[in-house]
Structure 1
């Protein structure tokens, strides 16, 4: 016997699940619903099967192929335009030369098809409709039969006043080929609305067989979720893949579950998924293959498709997530919310119940979403943030992404030029660097493999090796969700300009790539030891003016271990190196005092000065450290002009005036800050070793310990606060602030800076997050707090009024 699977449905009522996926391919416990249909047919000996396809047909063809993996033979019949249920089946008329069965590829059932076929033959029917009894028949075709089972009346999708039975049409039919005589090829024709009324009018034998068992047409989003919960509850006889590790808890191959996970059945976890410590998977949870659930996340009565990332402390409470969805830390997806393919739910955002988010959308951090996102809302065309391009490893930052980004970058650089590529010591960044290099070569760009170094070393090498640019790839310190950043450098080693960022973004989103001749393909070029070059230039810079100092040093990057001992030996320092178990600032201060050291430093994973301790064991606070770095530049006789970020304290102008130097305020981004302090490829901002050498040189020249240098800086207070604000409201808030500050002294270098007699306040829209950064500088902490509070309250009150 043969069968036809109708698999042309768009599944409009299931959107956004079916935005990129035909309804027969919507997964149930990690397998397409149509797979269960094929297995049911095979169970009853039906292995020669036609499949009618129309919406996204290649998705179905590519997955099932010829059916051999399922032990059946599949023959595809494609509709060029919708022909109705009967019209689509007529396309397979030549194949259907005997009694055949018609079944939907997007419904779930375990009916005994053998009994239905036997009934059909017993009644010698031309058509038998398989029926079932339901509680609510309004969405189905209601059928009435006589005592012999012959159909005497039916009605498509009645209202309650028209309901005369609870027995409905399941869309499963056993038919004789002669039914094709009743309608023409290529014309829309429906079984229920057209063919069956004709057969009744012609007094042909039309029977209804009431089947026992489970059936769901998965007609809406609630039924889609419920079908899987019914599978987990064993209400439907189907093959659930994976091992049952506990009652009604199935896991696929390669699944890793931390021992400290709370797992309550029924549940299903697809193959190669990772469930981290502290996660709560409560009842009726389905996790698709290759997904990762990070620490302390919580899922309950939720369905996840494949390759999803649920960040730490995120909650999915009765939601449905399609493929490759990222839910960031602290976010909540509520009951009956549905999130389409490739969406990004931001940090601590809240998706309210019942919301639908269509594919590719972004819900910004700290946002409450109370309406569905369908068209054109926040599909970002921005890649770059404050540090470069960053994302979560193997979720957003993949080898494919790196290759595509490199092709975009390579397209805007001249052919036959060279960039440097470096990375930190983690294996994953090395893999990303290799992918990046390959695509640069394909764009006609050569690469210098700088190897595993810090960003300061990479900046220095890009400057001295005459590169047109550079790339440094590193893990972000302190990021528990394994975030990676790709830093782009210009020929001077500076972060690239905003204009260059926009060119790369445009090329990336337009999928631009350069077609070059084979002879123009870039090469991996031999490169000098960039660490040694950096070390030699540091020694030249230091000269003999830093001997005799004792430094307590802690660092976390093994690569620095090959540089620091050489510097110490050559410059006559006594280094007390702490072990690589991270010390707190107070522990570092204790070591400095007990050792009688001149200072103590903690360098982070990228060689940046993270903590500074004076000879008296005082921890230098962050805002004072900024002033100290400027003071180091002030005391350098070669410097006449200082470039200082707009958010640095006013005390800098006082100090500069004392030493006869000029201050130029810049934007607060890293490139603007660094541009005015370049020193032969070295930069005081971000380079801890360069800063240390300069500090010791000044201390030696002035015969002044670090504590006295800091003591010479007048007291000041600099505070920083943050105010949440959706991206869509940032512009109106800035307009409001401009209106409110009319008549006051205002600077617009970067954000809005209001000058007061007692200090200043800076309101700066954050370039990466939906927040405002509010800086306040005053003569003391109380003044700074008052200034900050005035403007944070102003923003919050305006937003409250605007949303009423």
Structure 2
């Protein structure tokens, strides 16, 4: 028995062990169902050391809550917490008041069965002031290398050398036997390290310092490999620690309360903790460790896998070389492969495949049949659907990073023929450029060609696809209001957004990593086009029918956009066709867009301008202010452009999303025009208007803001009228849009009940549920991207519109509260 004290260094974050250490400090990572630090306490107690200081920094409360004062282990624990990182030496110095005689420093996140008594005897025999416990390692590159002379005195050491610097195979284990006076070399609360700072000073001052080479087991649990290896070494009895379970046959350790089903095979060595349930026809292969309260479903198998507590594995699921943290659920038909790790509380739905070396952070939800080939760190869930309402979007360098983008580019290009080319572009942000370049790499790797039209807007990308007769396009942009949010849009050969069927193809290819790859000789050159916008400007010039009249009138226009590049383009086009153009850059100074529009409207009126336009950052949509200061946006703009189309010649068809006010349909009844109703999605509407060349002007009005304004200017010049004349023709209508938040799993239940409640009324199920009444209509539409319902209501007067909206809202909120319905 040894009458000395000990210090357990338990401040490790375990960064390389994540996701195992995302919610617990490294010393609390379990080894055979107990924290690794507990083995250090057991070892110290075995050698009669009961007074133990524990130095902590990261999540200290978790350690203190588990070990408390140490009574359960018959030791006395005192805790010392670092407010700021102090290094290995500084953390021990922080406990100096506790250390009044020889003491041993041991790691709380390494496993060893060191004979401490022999090491102490060696320290005292050598009259050493500092003894470093050493161990021979064939590959010492990850450790501090130490060389001793024949007497064992330390003469040289080096932290983590390269092979050219290796001068010994004895490495520093981080276990030290020290005399208290050596701590006087540094002041308290000073950051210093034993091996980098203190030991070189001792060496320089010729203070007796020795190395004790141990042949016993030691393993630093620094990463997933060493963590798993430690388990396997214990099961192989290569380390002398107690296994708290009955060995029912050689190499099969079972704790109390374990249930094992019929035809289940256990192949040693295996460890199963208390109260776990193994169902029928299960194979628990060698080096499998199952924590307490786990369930293993029928026909499943484990091999070289480690399950923490409360994990559940469904039927026909197979884990190979994986670590599952607490409360993980794997549903049926799941496969996980070597060196994969799944964080606490994560749920993997049926059919998921986790590829080798993949790490899934805690509390993730992985949707069915997804193939996970990269680490899942951010967000709350990963699912097969990567497309939202109209694009792929997410936070830059987290949800959407270069690796993701390259794979996405490969998936998109794999839907095309190799002998084709696509247009690619991005806005002016550097972040967009990075994502664009990654997409290009992925696309080129499939053999598909790329025409890079550089920095521009989405509307010009669509134009370029038609101009070059390309087979598709990709545009990358950053949200100007949320600078960390990136958007990636994919187009087909007409310049319209790809349809849902193509999105599904891309998602399937992406999730399966099922990409076309070409030989080196088939990788095409990137065709780079500078100043492509000049082609766009020329095209707009060619499509103006009344250029002379416009230049004669010289309309005075105020132009604004949150994107300066879009505003510059608009300035060039409008000036080229003969307008007197002024740019308003002040929009960026306003947080309240309504206040800005109000001030812009005053500006238009006070300066006798013909109208003002506010262009969206992607160059697609536009808001117009007439010379009287009236703001024409959203539904009013759609009615305005419908009136222009109806007054134009040779218009036979108009496309209307079914979420639009019915006043548009009433306007068309006066003309011999066919109405084509579409679903509300961006892609459905755009593909419909691009299906027929006669409807191309409607496309421009909705998806090319600069060209739309040109068309309006051309129409006004041809008819010799001002914008207010056509605005005056917009009929009164009463339309309300609203959103109601919900849970994702409420959507189907609520829609079903809305249908049932209105089964005797005039309802349409074209998309969502539309309820028609003699007072108007209302539509409830579950949102594709967010956990909410979109409500659209139109009444024969404002009172009726509000009444319908309130009534439907109340019914939905009632259903959301009553989960039993």
When normalised by structure 2's length, the TM-score is 0.57
1:710 lines up with 2:716 in the alignment: no
> In structure 1, how many angstroms separate the alpha carbons of the residues matched to 2:388 and 2:243?
59
Task: Give the secondary structure class of the aligned counterpart of 2:739.
Answer: strand
Structure 2 segments unaligned to the other structure (5+ residues): 1-8, 38-55, 60-84, 89-105, 120-128, 148-169, 181-211, 218-232, 245-324, 327-341, 349-359, 368-379, 591-595
1:597 aligns with 2:601: no
C-alpha distance 39-662 of structure 1, shift in aligned 2 (>3 A): same
1:577 aligns with 2:620: no
Indicate the residue corresponding to 1:533 in structure 2.
Answer: 535
2:742 equivalent in structure 1: 725
- 2:453 corresponds to 1:441: no
Q: Contact between 1:628 and 1:710, CA under 8 Å: does it hold in 2?
A: yes
Gap change, CA 1:68 and 1:508, over 3 Å in 2: closer
**1:388 and 2:462 aligned:** no
**Residue 426 of structure 1 corresponds to which residue in structure 2?**
429
Q: Which of the numbers 614, 623, 631 marks the counterpart of 1:611?
A: 623
Aligned with 1:511 (options 498, 513, 534): 513
Query: Which runs of structure 2 are paired with 1:58-137 in the superposition (5 Å)?
Result: 66-68=140-142, 70-71=144-145, 113-114=177-178
How far apart in 2 are the matches of 1:476 and 1:567? 24
The match for 1:792 is: 809
How far is the alpha carbon of 1:39 from its aligned partner? 14
- Residues 263-412 of structure 1 aligned to structure 2 (within 5 Å): 358=362, 360-361=364-365, 379-412=382-415
Contact 1:421/1:448 (<8 A) preserved: yes
Instruction: Specify which of 738, 746, 760 is matched with residue 755 of structure 2.
Output: 738
Match of 1:49 in 2: 135
Q: How does 1:602-641 map to 2 (within 5 A)?
A: 602-641=614-653
SS of alignment partner, residue 631 of structure 1: helix
Deviation at 1:649, TM superposition (A): 0.2
- 1:742 CA displacement: 0.9
Offset at 1:468? 1.0
Distance in 1 (CA, whole Å) between partners of 2:408 and 2:18 is 35
Relative to structure 1, is the Cα distance of residues 617 and 11 closer, same or farther in structure 2, using a 3 angstrom cutoff? closer
- The whole-number CA distance in structure 1 between the counterparts of 2:423 and 2:30 is 48
Separation (CA, whole Å) in 1 of partners of 2:414 and 2:134: 51
| Cα distance between partner residues in 2 of 1:482 and 1:523 | 31
1:601 Cα deviation from its structure 2 partner: 0.7
In 2: Cα distance, 1:194 partner to 1:654 partner:
81
Q: Which deviates further from its counterpart, 458-467 or 658-667?
A: 658-667
The 3 A distance-change label for structure 1 pair 357 and 658 is same
Partner of 1:472: 475
Q: 1:758 to 1:705 in 2, by over 3 A?
A: farther
Q: How large is the Cα RMSD of the aligned pairs? A: 4.6
The one-character-per-residue Cα deviations of 1:503-561 (angstroms, maximum 9, x if unpaired) are 11111111122232222113202547431111111111113254422211123333345
How far off is 1:18 after superposition?
10
User: Counterpart of 2:798?
Assistant: 781
SS in 1 for 2:423: strand
Partner of 1:668: 680
Report the Cα offset of residue 776 of structure 1: 0.5
Partner Cα separation in structure 1 for residue 626 and residue 171 of structure 2? 85
Does the CA contact (< 8 Å) of 2:575 and 2:581 recur in 1? no
Deviation by residue 1:181-231 (Cα, 9 ceiling, x = unmatched): xxx998548846489xxxxxxxxxxxxxxxxxxxxxxxxxxxxxxxxxxxx
Structure 1 residues 70 and 575, CA gap change in structure 2 (3 angstroms): same
The equivalent residue for 2:600 is 588
Residue equivalent to 1:685: 702
> 3-state SS of the aligned residue for 1:658?
coil
Matches of 1:750 and 1:343, distance apart in 2: 31
2:498 aligned partner: 496
Report the secondary structure of 1:474's partner residue. Answer: strand
Task: Choose from 445, 464, 473 the match for 1:461.
Answer: 464
Q: 1:15 to 1:189 in 2, by over 3 A?
A: farther
Structure 1 gap segments, 5+ residues each: 52-60, 74-99, 104-109, 117-172, 179-183, 196-320, 323-337, 345-355, 364-376
CA pair 647-35 structure 1, distance change in 2 beyond 3 A: farther
Residues 16 and 357 in structure 1, CA contact (< 8 A), matched pair in contact too: no
Relative to the length of structure 1, the TM-score reads 0.58
Aligned to 1:551: 557
Work out whether residues 751 and 765 of structure 1, in 8 Å CA contact, stay in contact via their aligned partners in 2.
yes
Shift of 1:452: 0.7
CA–CA distance in 2 between the matches of 1:185 and 1:573? 82
Contact preservation (8 Å) 2:389, 2:784: yes
1:776-804 deviation digits (Å, cap 9, x = unpaired): 11123222121111112111111211169
- C-alpha displacement of 1:13: 10
